[in-house]
Amino acid sequence: MCTGASIHVWRWSAAMTPEQAFGQVIREWRLRLGLSQEQVGFESGYHRTYVSLLERGQKSPSLGALFRLSEALCAKPSDIVVAVEARVACAAVRGRLAGERGK
């Protein structure tokens, strides 16, 4: 993961969509807490399959879903958004660096 980098202009690249980054973040936080998808679903009021779709980046959460999931994961919605933004920005930087090396 990229650390210490300050990126002021936010862009997402084809390397990682915001949905994919969101899925990675909520999966990591869920596993860190030792929760199953079913437990997160129950706590947030969603079905396990919806949590799975989110984690795989196949669904885009609504603002309400973000708030409900963050509560189930003992996190602030803003912390999740910041983590997603950092993940997308790092992917974009890695993509640009890989492109420069290929020239």
Q: Residue 23's domain is classified under what CATH number?
A: 1.10.260.40
In a domain, 5, yes or no: no
Domain range for 41: 18-101
In a domain, 75, yes or no: yes
Number of domains the chain is built from: 1
Residue 15's pLDDT is 77
Place of tokens 């929760």: 35
Q: Which of 84, 45, 57, 38 is nearest to 30 (CA)?
A: 38
Residue 102's pLDDT is 57
Residue 99's pLDDT is 62
In a domain, 29, yes or no: yes
In a domain, 13, yes or no: no
In a domain, 10, yes or no: no
In a domain, 4, yes or no: no
Taking the complete model, does pTM exceed 0.75, yes or no?
Answer: yes
Low-confidence stretches of the chain (pLDDT beneath 70):
1-14, 94-103
Residue 19's pLDDT is 96
Per the CB < 8 A criterion, the answer to whether 57 and 22 are in contact is yes
